Amino acid sequence: MESMLSKAKTFCPFIRTSSTATLRQLSTGRQNGQSALTIAAFNCPVMKTALIKQRRTYVFPTRPAKASMPTVEQIHLDAGVIDTSEGLEKCPHASKALAAGRGQTTKSVTNAFPYEGFYNDILERKKADKSYRIFNNVNRLAKEFPLAHPRDETKRINVWCSNDYLGMGKHKDVTKAMHESIDRYGAGAGGTRNIAGHNLSAERLERSLADLHNKEAALVFSSCFVANDACLSTLGSKLPNCVIFSDESNHASMIQGIRNSRAEKIIFKHNDIADLERKLASVDPARPKLIAFESVYSMHGDVGPISQICDLAEKYGAITFLDEVHAVGMYGKRGGGVAEETNGLMERVDIITGTLAKAYGCVGGYIAASAKCVDLIRSVAPGFIFTTSLPPHIMTAALTAVEHLKQSQYERAAQRLAVSRTKAALTSIGIPILANNTHILPVMVGSAEKAKLASDELFNKYDIYVQSINYPTVPVGTERLRITPGPAHTPQMIEQLKTAIDNIWTEHNLPRLDAWSARGIDVGMGVAMDHANTERGYIGQPTERHFIDAAHKPNPLIAAA
């Protein structure tokens, strides 16, 4: 090409003033079998005639490897183009090449979509309505649980909103298992489960999770968001003409999975059995149906009516999809979730999903169901097939936590004691907590701006971290602080939290129990969903219990109702 260009430069000013690299780049780009240089040449008043003459001989388009169409350089030479009397500016072909050679850019489109402005408008609206989120820098300390340090590593803050509900993330057996696995297998997974990512750690963990829920099989995902999305989108799209019934308070992961399935969706009122039955009865009995709901709803702390929903599923020929994310490890004699609290109930639920990132203190999610259902998801769900597997050390640590909580009651007992103490302390000063008998304490504020203010003051003035929750996680007007007492929160820490919240509520005149009750909101210590001696009976007479200190050593305490 270089020798040809040397000759061509004698005749063509465009070639003579363009660099070899520029011409090579233009000549190698292809569209419909022609080089970008050839296509541009049709805009040249001199070259156009020569090209049309050559087209009479060749058929367009041809495959680049087989075409005998000459290059633009050859056409210049063959045509004997030496007349430059009109100047380079008269040749669009040459001027474009020269511009490319000089690094010039063409004029931008004046009516292009204003992407950056669009992004900014949405962000400014969120800032204006006080729902814009700013992340706090919180570095949880394994040896000082539940304390953490902010950016200043010399300071300490008390974390009251962690989803590591039982402190298993720093349990000595869990971290030991993780270290040993890293030393043996390294840091990464190596690929998807289909490509180098399947191993003994995955098999052992899935067997343990299937056993936990008394199911034939289980399948581990990178998170329970992915597990819910993959499972619901796959079933909803594969089951012919499927309709999915979804509780209106379901988590975003379930909503996303239902949306991705493109199946018909029918939303029923939160925990409203009568509304669900009316809607089930309206659908053809022979039509595939799936009911998606949760056991513990993370922002309300209330519990789904699992038995009644299973009754309706059996009556109307539906399958059940139960999200136990905020319940696994926390409820049931072995940590199997709320469904384990009632004998035989787990077996009635078709599909159970859970997480390894909350009570088990690690990361990841899973489904547990029949062997064929799990195999279907494994075989066709893109969210499983095309995602890198969890690394062995994560699955080994999670397995250790799951097996520990199948046997140990200490962590659950200590956590329940802390919940009982905290609820009693806050309600004694009129702090409005949405009534429930789970481990989640939604402290109602009712304003995104004021919830953020309360959270900031707890953090900055009192070294207490409680995250504010706003729209879209909760409806506008129900903004709140979400408190999750843990097994290492001592009576002294609870008293510090009580004093700090009382001061902030007083200083900013935030609504207390009476104001929320007047609005018809059920706030207070708890609700009589179960008898006091059941798994979730927090309210009762003082009795000797245990709590777990930072080293997970059981210590006797006297519980205060």
Closest CA to 438 of 292, 536, 555, 551: 536
Q: For the chain, give the number of residues.
A: 561
Q: How many CB atoms lie within 10 A of CB 82?
A: 11
Distance CA 479, CA 469 (A): 6
Task: Find all residues with CB under 8 Å of 480, minimum gap 6, and list them.
Answer: 299, 434, 442, 443, 444, 445, 451, 468, 469, 474
Q: Which two tokens stand for residue 482?
A: 């979400």
Q: Write the DSSP assignment of 174-241 as a string of letters.
A: HHHHHHHHHHHH-SS--SBIIIII--HHHHHHHHHHHHHTT-SEEEEES-HHHHHHHHHHHHHHHSTT
Distances (CA, A) of 401 to 4, 177, 329, 355, 417: 72, 10, 9, 12, 21
Characterize 230-262 residue by residue with b for buried, 16 or more Cβ atoms within 10 angstroms of its Cβ, and e for exposed: bbbbbbbeebeebbbbbbebbbebbbbbbebbe
Does 358 qualify as catalytic in the annotation?
A: yes
Distance CA 279, CA 246 (A): 11
**Residue 30, phi then psi, degrees to nearest 5:** -125, 145
Distance CA 436, CA 529 (A): 8
Distances (CA, A) of 425 to 307, 453, 489, 499: 33, 22, 13, 10
| Catalytic hit among 96, 170, 215, 358 | 358
Q: Which two tokens stand for residue 499?
A: 């004093």
Distances (CA, A) of 234 to 206, 216, 322: 20, 19, 16
Residue 408 DSSP code: -
Bridge partners of residue 355, in order along the sequence:
365
Q: Which two tokens stand for residue 429?
A: 């000063």
Distance CA 234, CA 103 (A): 49
Q: Which residues are catalytic?
A: 358
